[in-house]
Amino acid sequence: MKHILFALLLTISLSAFSQILDPVKWSTAVEKVSDTEYKLISTANIDTSWHLYSQFVPENGPIPTTFIYDNSEETFTLEGNTLEGKGHTIFDPVFEMEIKFFEGQAQFVQHIKISSAIQKIEGFVEYMVCDDAQCMPPTEVELEFILDGNTKGAATITEKAKETPVKVSEKHIEKEEKTATNKGLWSIFFIAFLSGFAALLTPCVFPMIPMTVSFFTKQSKNKASGIKNAIIYGVSIIVIYVLLGTAVTGIFGASALNALSTNVWFNVIFFVLLVVFAVSFLGAFEIVLPNSWANKVDSQADRGGLVGIFFMALALAIVSFSCTGPIVGTLLVESASKGGVAPIIGMFGFSLAIALPFALFAAFPGWLNSLPKSGGWLNTVKVVLGFLELALAFKFLSNADLVLQLHVLEREVFIAIWIAIFGTLAFYLFGKIQLPHDSPLPHISVGRLSLGLIVLTFTIYMIPGLWGAPLNIISAFPPPQEYSESPYGVGFSKIGGGAARAEAHGELPDGAHLLAPHDIMAFNDYDKGVAYAKKVGKPIMLDFTGWACVNCRKMEQKVWPEPGVLSILKNDVVLISLYVDDKRPLAEGDVVESQLKPGKTLKYIGQKWSEMQTIKYKSNSQPFYVIIDHAEDKLVEPVAYLPDAELYQNWLEEGLRKFKK
C-alpha cells in the first residue's frame, strides 16, 4: 500500500512538474501623451497560482523584475522610474524579509521623452516567477514598442502581443510607487539628519556655532534683524547641500543611480572612497578643498545683504569640508544606492540638522552659555565617525564579492573584520589607544566610558557569529548565512568539528564543497561531479536549483535535514547542485549558441544549466531533482518540490535500488 501511494503521488508530481512551463505572457502598448512624450506600457498576464516579483526586492531576496530599454542611439530619455501597481506584500519566512509580488496581471509604465523621430523602441524584461511548489529560472523576454502612428490617448498593441492590456491609471500606479518608496526615503532622511548632528560635533563645525551666532547678533541693528539673518544663513546652508544632492541626481540620472548599487565596479569604488574618508577621520591626513576657493568665497561674504550671507554659508561648507566632506560623501554613496531622489532627500536632512542650531541659538542667545566648551572630545567624535565609516566600507566590498561569487569576503571574514574594528574602537574609547590629533587623557568621562561599554558589548555580541549565530541586529550587513566558509561557523559543523568532518569526508575532491547548513558534500561543476561519482561507484543526484529559489530553500531547510534523507544525501549519492540563476560569465571556451533560441549566445553559467534541464529533462522549473547512473541516464523519473520527507526518501531509495541492479 505504501509503495502504491508513493507511486501515485510521484505520478502527480511528474505530471505537475515535468513539463516546459511559461506562466507569464507579456504584451506591450504605447500611449501618446504629446508630440514628444509617450508612455511605454508592459503588461504581464500571469497564470493562476503563480506570482511575479516586484522591481523593488530587498538585497539577497528573489530576482526582481527589471526593465531595460535600448537607447544606444540616444533618441529618447527616461522620465523617472518604471512605475508599477499595488501588488501584494508579505513577510517571507525563507528570505526573512518583506517581499512584494503580483498575481493575475501586472502592469508597468515607463514615461519617455523623445528627442528625434523614431518608430519603435526595443528592450527586454528580466523576471522570476514562483508558485507554491516551484520557481522558474531568471527569464529574459524581448519587448517592442511601436511609436509610429499613435494619437494622443490611444494605446496600440504590438504584433507580438497576444492579449489586450487593460488601460493603465498612472495616478494609481504613482500612488503605489510612492507607498513602496516612501519608507526608504524616510529612512534616508532620518539617517542623514542624525549624520548632520554628528557633523556638528566635529572640530571644524562646532566652534563655528557661537562665533557665527555672535556675529549676527552683534552686527544686526536689533534682535529681530539678527534672528532673520541667522535664519537666512541656515536656509542658505540647506540650499547649498540640496543643490549638491540635485547635481548628483542630475549627473547620473534618477533611475541610473539604482543600477549603481548592484554594479561591481561602483561598489568597489565606494569601498575605496569610504576607506579614504575613514583614514582621514582617524587623523592620517585631511581632505581639504583648495585655499583659493575659501579666499574667493570669503571675499564675497563681505558684500553684505542676502548675497553676503549666502557666501558666508558657502564659506562654512568649504572651510569645514575636512570634517563634513567624508560624512557628505558617505551619505551620497548610501543614498545613491537607493536611487531616485534619495541624494536630494539625504542632503536636505543633513543640512537641516546643521542649519537648525544657527537659527535656534540666534533666536535664544542665552542658550549659548549651555554649550559645552570645545576640546579634545570633538576629535573623539571625529575618530568614532572614522571607525563607523571603515565598518560601512566593507558592506560595499561585500556587495561586489556576492555579485561575483568570489567567496573572498565570506560571512566569517566580514564578521571578524567588524569585530576587529569595533573592538579597536572600544579600546580607543577606554583610552588604551592614542591617535595623532588626540589631546592628553588624564581620565575618562562618564559619557566616554558609557559609549565604550556599549561598543564593547556590541563587539562581544558579534563573536558568536563566527560559530554560526544569526546576529539578527546586524542581519542586513554581513553576507547571508550560507555564504560562509563553514556551514555553522569557524571550527564547527553538524557532524562535529574538524576531526569528525575529516573522518566523514576525508580530503574533499577537486570541485567539491560542503553545502550549508547540512555538511553535504556537493559539486557545482557537472563534469567534476560525474567523474567523482564514477570513481567512488555511487549514483548521481542532480539538483537543479537557484540562489533566489524560495522552494529550493524550503526543501533544503525542511526535507533534507530529516535523518533518513540526510543519510542518503551524505553517504549514498554524489550531489551536483546546478544553479540556474548563476550570473557568473561562462569561460571563453564554454560560450556556445543557445539550442533553444537560435542566434542567442549563452553568456552565464546559470543559462547553461537551465538549457541543459530544459533540453534533457523537458522541465524548466526549480527545484528539480534527477537521479542518474554513470551513463548519465535516469534511474527513476525526476521529482520537483516534494515537501513530504517520507516520500522524498522513498524516491531516493528507489533510485539507489535501480542503481544496484
Q: What is the pLDDT of residues 309-323, one digit of tens each?
A: 777 777 777 766 666
- CA torsion 380-381-384-390 (nearest 10°) is -120
* Structural element, H or E, at residue 334: helix 321-336
Round the CA-based radius of gyration of the chain to a whole number and report it. 30
More confident residue, 26 or 180: 26
Please state which of the ranges 118-122, 453-457, 503-507, 590-594 shows the lowest mean pLDDT: 503-507
Per-range mean pLDDT, top range of 110-119, 252-261, 331-340: 110-119
Describe the strand order of the beta sheet including 66-69 as a list of residue ranges: 66-69, 120-127, 139-146
Report which DSSP code applies to 484: S
Give the closest residue to 300 by CA, choosing from 283, 318, 286, 287.
Answer: 318
> What value does the mean pLDDT take over residues 98-106?
86
In this model, does residue 265 exceed pLDDT 50? yes
- Contact by Cβ (8 Å): 578, 609: yes
Q: How far apart are CA 237 and CA 354, in angstroms?
A: 8
The packing angle between helices 342-363 and 170-200, to 10°, is: 50
Peptide bond just before 470 cis, omega within 30 deg: no
Please state which of the ranges 352-361, 459-468, 605-614 shows the lowest mean pLDDT: 352-361
Q: How far apart are CA 229 and CA 213, in angstroms?
A: 10
User: pLDDT above 70 covers what percent of the chain?
Assistant: 72
In this model, does residue 8 exceed pLDDT 70? no
More confident residue, 404 or 217: 404
All three cell numbers of 128, joined, read 522570476
> What value does the mean pLDDT take over residues 264-279?
81
In this model, does residue 201 exceed pLDDT 60? yes
Report which DSSP code applies to 109: E
pLDDT bin (cut points 50, 70, 90) of residue 541 is: very high
Q: Which residues fall within 8 angstroms of residue 390, CB to CB, at 6 or more apart?
A: 274, 275, 278, 279, 282, 421
List, in order of start, the domains of the chain with CATH numbers.
Answer: 24-168 (2.60.40.1250), 184-375 (no CATH), 506-660 (3.40.30.10)
pLDDT at 486: 64
SS (H, E, C) 276-313: HHHHHHCCCCCCCCCHHHHHHHHHHHCCCHHHHHHHHH
Q: How far apart are CA 385 and CA 391, in angstroms?
A: 10
> What value does the mean pLDDT take over residues 473-502?
57
pLDDT bin (cut points 50, 70, 90) of residue 487 is: low
- Return mean pLDDT, the chain: 76
pLDDT at 12: 42
Per-range mean pLDDT, top range of 122-131, 159-168, 255-264: 122-131
Please state which of the ranges 48-62, 530-544, 570-584 shows the lowest mean pLDDT: 48-62
Geometric angle at alpha carbon 290, from 285 and 294, rounded to 5°: 115
pLDDT at 171: 47
In this model, does residue 27 exceed pLDDT 50? yes
Give the closest residue to 84 by CA, choosing from 46, 56, 125.
Answer: 56
pLDDT at 529: 93
| CA dist list (Å): 306 to 149, 210, 220, 295, 303 | 53, 21, 13, 19, 9
How many residues does this entry show for the chain? 661
Q: What is the pLDDT of residues 134-191, one digit of tens each?
A: 788 888 888 889 886 544 433 333 333 333 333 444 444 444 444 444 555 777 788 8
Q: How far apart are CA 106 and CA 116, in angstroms?
A: 30
Q: How far apart are CA 105 and CA 232, in angstroms?
A: 51
Q: Which residues fall within 8 angstroms of residue 543, CB to CB, at 6 or more apart?
A: 522, 575, 576, 577, 578, 623, 625
In this model, does residue 305 exceed pLDDT 90? no
- Contact by Cβ (8 Å): 523, 558: no
The packing angle between helices 223-252 and 321-336, to 10°, is: 50
In this model, does residue 198 exceed pLDDT 70? yes
All three cell numbers of 441, joined, read 587623557
pLDDT at 423: 94
In this model, does residue 496 exceed pLDDT 70? no
Geometric angle at alpha carbon 496, from 490 and 502, rounded to 5°: 85
Q: How far apart are CA 226 and CA 224, in angstroms?
A: 5
| CA dist list (Å): 412 to 275, 336, 490 | 20, 28, 7
More confident residue, 182 or 634: 634
Kindly report whether the global pTM for this prediction surpasses the value 0.75.
no
Positions of E strands within 443-532? 512-515, 520-523
pLDDT at 498: 36
Bridge partners (DSSP) of residue 105 are 45
Identity (one letter) of the amino acid at 27?
S
Q: How far apart are CA 35 and CA 407, in angstroms?
A: 51
Residue whose C-alpha cell is 571607525:
387
pLDDT at 169: 44
- Contact by Cβ (8 Å): 559, 645: yes
Could you tell me how far CA 317 lies from the centroid of its own chain? Answer: 31
Identity (one letter) of the amino acid at 318?
I
In this model, does residue 491 exceed pLDDT 60? no
pLDDT at 191: 82
In this model, does residue 17 exceed pLDDT 60? no
> What value does the mean pLDDT take over residues 89-113?
81
Please state which of the ranges 176-190, 318-332, 436-450 shows the lowest mean pLDDT: 176-190
pLDDT at 577: 92
> What value does the mean pLDDT take over residues 347-370?
77
In this model, does residue 441 exceed pLDDT 70? yes
User: pLDDT above 90 covers what percent of the chain?
Assistant: 15
Residue whose C-alpha cell is 537560435:
598
